Structure 1
Amino acid sequence: MDVSSSDALWAGTGLGSLARQALEYLVSNPGADTDAVAAGTGVSAAAARTALKSLEAELLAVRIAGQPTRWSAGPPRSSLGALLARKRQELAKAELYAEQLDEVYRTTPGRHIASDLFEVVENDEQVGARYSHLLRSSRHEVLHFARPPYVTRRIAPTDTSTAAGATVRPGVRLRSVYDSDGIADDGCLETALRGAPTEGELRLLPGLPMKLVIFDRIAAIMPLRKDDPAAGSLVVHSSTLLDVLTALFESVWERAVPLSLGSRPASHAASPGKQEAALHSRTRNILRLMAAGMKDDAIARALQLSRRTVQTHISDLGRQLGARTRFQIALLAQQRGLFGDTEE
């Protein structure tokens, strides 16, 4: 019997790993004594005895009279079926208890819950705790809008990818769009880059409509007031509204400009070809960030360049393209394909 993948299958029974191994051994070796079970499962006789007693308590194994005591597994379909039926009854009781607790939760003074579809969280600390719980529970993807005004006394949950020490799980995709009109605020860009995990993707776009975080497309959180992110948040569970919010995010994501940090000053020791490639990459990055509405200082910080270097690139581009304004530069660069692959 292949037991290498059985742990997950047995989790719902409540049996420990050792009890599971002992039962699987007895199914294939009827009438085995304790020492045989211990040898067959690779544990001590004392551990095997404990596992066999737990199987006896769950009516999964019975003792056979005689010396030494021998053990026999019950018919798995009926004995395990009875165990699973008991577990289902226990889960039903737990669900009823959860409903009772939820009723107490909803009727507690000071808590505002209009329905199962929405939840109002007004306390700033509770907002952070609620956000952390939703973030830790996410298994697939987190979608994120960040725009000013930002909470300055601490990192606000809807401003960054983490809150109260919470981070996305490994393998969970994080996609963030930052409002380029506010990305130049002191510390904002640095916070955004620190908060993004390896799997994270950052884009920029001016004039984001709102702050928003969507968790696995089954829950979302947004501020109650657009101009005051510390005034509380609305937690959304409505599938209809979540579909609308997700569609809004995807529409904004398509129009947003990727924040690429691949550009670094080329080493003087690098070959002329590599220096030229680095120069082209840097120019594309400057174009993308400029098209997103970022100012020279913010572009310089994002790409780890001096402000003068950024301005020199923009001036050179203007001369090459015959453009006089930043808007004309971005428009002509787009028409001539100078932005390159936006998915870099």
Structure 2
Amino acid sequence: MSAEADGVAGTYGDLSPAARRLYAYAVERHAFHTAEATSALGARAGAAITELAAAHLLQRAPGGGADRWSPVAPRAAAARALAPLALLVRETHDEMDRLRGRLEALVPAYEAGAALRELNGSGHLELMTDLGAVRGLIAELSAGCERELLTSQPGGGRPLESLEEAIGRDESLLTRGVRMRTIYQHTARYSRPTAAYVERVTALGAQVRTLGDGLMRMLIFDEHTGLMAVPERSGAALVVREPNVVHFMTAAFERSWVGAEPFPATVSPEAARSISDELRQTIVRLLSEGLEDKVIARRLGMSERTCQRHIAEIMRAIGAKSRFQAGYLLSPSPNDPKETP
């Protein structure tokens, strides 16, 4: 709000009791001198006169000198006080119309360029590196989504800020009848904000499942447009509109969906043990592949410290004294019948 508007708002705050008494006094007499008000209401009359004059509720009485006042009707006072705000609103609307006109003048050029990209295929893949632009595109695609949104979110529990941004958008989708399926990693089950979010969207018909490993961060809108995370570039996204690539992304999601487990409202001790066992098995596999702790932790959506604790337990269980020995002991034997073609 401008300084001018702030001034008007401050003027029209609640009147003090003294100002209210003085206004009633003034209305009864039509006009009065400051000395008369002071005699009737006491020492606060001077401050009350200043307050009422600032609120346009008192004016100098015509022909009565600088010390004679008369009341102003509240509606007339409001008209005077709101005049600066009304002017500000008109100027703001005019500026909005000018800005809208300047931007909408570019619509034909944008549509022509988009049509050309569609013809030559250059618009089928687009790298976006600005996080704000990525969020804006997600909001735009969500608003236009008509049938189904598929989401794959690796990395464990989602940040509270991301969930707060997503909940309104996703609830709007679901209330429009758009189908929504989401896959998290198992570790997301232990995130209270994520569990609360899941509870809200599933109540509206969303389906949410979890998987241990192998997720790719992506969103797919109506099997028409996909967004994929860009490795080692936080906040960047690859926008995919090429039909064959979007079909591949959808097929990858469906394979993960079949192997995933429903996200429960609560995690029972039995389910927690089952998930922990599956996580340890996955850690064993990744250890045998020679991956570092931080890489395994990122793959499984857990902190590096938690991952190291699991690795230490596994090493104790197999009697390994080093990661190298653990990797050797956990590697499949060349004579393992499971490795025989």
Q: Specify if TM > 0.5.
A: no
Structure with higher Rg: it is 2
**The structure with more helix, counted as a fraction of residues:** 2
Q: Which has the higher contact order (CA 8 A, sep 6+)?
A: 2
